[in-house]
Amino acid sequence: MERVLGITNPISEESARLDDLFTTETTGLPEAAGPQLIRLHDGDRFDLRIEPVRKRLAEAELRMLGYNGSIPGPTLHVDEGSEVTVQVTNDGDVEATVHWHGLRLENRYDGVPHDTQAPIPVGGTFTYKVQFPDVGFYWYHPHIREDFGLEMGLYGTIIVEPTDPSYWPAVDRQLSITLDDLLVENGHIAPFHRSGPNYTAMGRFGNVMLINGETEFSGEAAAGEVVRHYLVNTANTRIFNFALRGARMKLVGGDSGRYERETFVDEVMLAPSERAILDVMFDTPGEARLEHRTPDHVYDLGAFAVQGDSTAAAAASFGALRVDPELTAEHQSIDRDIERPPDKVLAFVASMPLLYGDDVAPATSYACPMHPEVTSSEPGTCSKCGMQLLPKRSEGTPTSYACPMHPEVTSTEPGLCPKCGMKLLAVRSEEPGPVSYVCPMHPEVTSSGPGSCPNCGMKLVPADTLPTTEPTPSEDAVHHEHQDHEQNDGLEWEDLMPEINRASEPSNMRWMLIDRESGAENGAITWAFTVGERVKIRLVNEMESDHPMHHPFHVHGAGRFLVLSRDGEPESNLVWKDTVLVPAGQTVDVLLDVSNPGLWMAHCHIAEHAQSGMMFSFNVSRRDPAEVAT
């Protein structure tokens, strides 16, 4: 059964030059295979090839990319403390690297172009030494044009087995599961531009749900069987809320190992790149259906057929909820960290000229978001990293400013509203005022004057500037109310402004990570840490932004972190993480345990946000040997 959220109008040929689009040709391509499970031991060598494949989904035959011809790529099953050699050959459509997501490996093998390695040219190879110091579930994917590579199918998973056989609860078997979506239009994957990402406002939401690369999961289980599910969200932007109706689920692990306390759960929410490890007991014969649950819909992802009786023994201990002693000790030791001021404050902010102006006059200067010293008087790409150069902010000065919440508050200079503290916005006094304003995401929210949407916090725009089309609901979705979720939860479950999102790209939609101490943005941030430090970082997803939106914040292998608190409320159940979801308007404090020297990246893991500049790199130096000896 095809799982489609709604049909989106294809991009017009008038809006993009054909020679700037990646090919969709499938003639002569091999058919995509399903993923293999590859067991590797310390010292083993493995070949990984990036190559185009042909994949059929419902009536569409799509050109995609696979690792070793499969979507997802091979699942690598390895041992804690081992090291393997992986030789990557790039026969794909664009330069490539492979990032080993979540692994605290040697910095030069992290897969970040120019920071840690030169890009692998089409037809070229690169050899990675991949270390696995931590038990858990990890994955690998591109870090050049991640928006393109992930959507096209370049992702694979890694299961790291513990040396301690009692580390995990007993199970009868285990599965690796990827959750994804794909945007298909007129029988092809929606166009990508070679010059840079599109759909940068909200990220590329798909209209076809994928689980392990297929539109429907089909599995079998015996009644009484316990199966470990290793879950990862590999989507460009979509949040998944996973459930298994008709079975019992126990959450035992997250990004990097086990939770402090095992818990029984009804559903698990995963932002892009987050992982969860669920032990599932199939205790009722019949069907157990895999679902993605949102506040408005339930999306069916397939089912297990549960029949017969299990002769295995794992069910006897399934009801036990174990406690991790190491994380319990960590929990007792972080009280001071919860209370102390943060070492760093990082704000998430959006500037959206596409809706709010400042994109009328052509830019006179362009700069790389990762290397701001690389500038040009014309559009182009960065000579150091290949990223698209972005227009620099206009130096022009408007003649009048007003508060979007209190339009009676005006000024001839930039500033803040004395009533609410919001930034005053430029006003074009020569233009006649609109008769009504509307929220771009919630068109039912209207006003006779400027203001902000009470549902999502976006600034209202003149009603005549918005397209008239609205997203259509899924034909496959089971309409279902979920009282466990709040509509105003700071999360965007669907693309609520598809035409605006389609028109967005880095020149008219700017995502920023801002260091609140220095004011530096994105690639200009120059944090530096030392191995052994524990750094408290406050992540502030500001509502005073052109487009308040959730962001999954990811830190590469410099270390791993614990979530200390969310909006001041201490985290009750700890797990080591490399990615944390920060909803719009929320403040999250994390404690980064810095353990690995090198130049490491941090970024939003919505692929289109990262590729449009929402990223920076920071240095970690080794500890002074004399200090270590002391």
| Residue 399: CA count within 13 A, CB half-sphere | 4
Residue ranges of the domains in the chain?
335-348+509-629
* 513-544 residue pLDDT tens: 999 999 999 999 999 999 999 999 999 999 98
**Banded model confidence at residue 406, pLDDT cuts 50, 70, 90:** low
**Banded model confidence at residue 7, pLDDT cuts 50, 70, 90:** very low
**Banded model confidence at residue 254, pLDDT cuts 50, 70, 90:** very high
* 354-364 residue pLDDT tens: 877 654 345 56
Alpha helices in 85-241 (DSSP H): 146-152
Whether the per-residue pLDDT at 397 is higher than 80: the answer is no
Between 328 and 448, where is the model more confident? 328
Whether the per-residue pLDDT at 429 is higher than 70: the answer is no
Q: Write the DSSP string, 520-535.
A: -BGGG---EEETT-EE
Distance CA 535, CA 564 (A): 11
Residue 560's pLDDT is 97
Distance CA 521, CA 531 (A): 24
Residue 355's pLDDT is 77
Distance from chain centroid for Cα 623: 32
* 271-280 residue pLDDT tens: 999 999 999 9
Distance CA 535, CA 602 (A): 14
Choose among 584, 376, 357: nearest CA to 487. 584
Whether the per-residue pLDDT at 5 is higher than 60: the answer is no
- Domain 335-348+509-629, CATH homologous superfamily name and number: Cupredoxins -  blue copper proteins (2.60.40.420)
Mean of the per-residue pLDDT values for the chain?
87
Q: In the beta sheet, which residues pair with residue 510?
A: 351
Least-confidence region, from 186-195, 238-247, 290-299, 411-420? 411-420
Distance CA 287, CA 271 (A): 27
Residue 45's pLDDT is 98
Q: In the beta sheet, which residues pair with residue 269?
A: 241
**Banded model confidence at residue 256, pLDDT cuts 50, 70, 90:** very high
Whether the per-residue pLDDT at 627 is higher than 80: the answer is no
| Tokens coding 270 | 């995963």
* 125-160 residue pLDDT tens: 999 999 999 999 999 999 999 999 999 999 999 999
Q: In the beta sheet, which residues pair with residue 276?
A: 231
**Banded model confidence at residue 423, pLDDT cuts 50, 70, 90:** low
Least-confidence region, from 35-39, 386-390, 464-468, 608-612? 464-468
Between 430 and 371, where is the model more confident? 371
| Residue 311: CA count within 13 A, CB half-sphere | 0
* 457-507 residue pLDDT tens: 767 777 665 555 444 444 444 433 333 434 578 899 999 889 989 999 999
Residue 356's pLDDT is 75
Percent of the chain with pLDDT over 70: 83
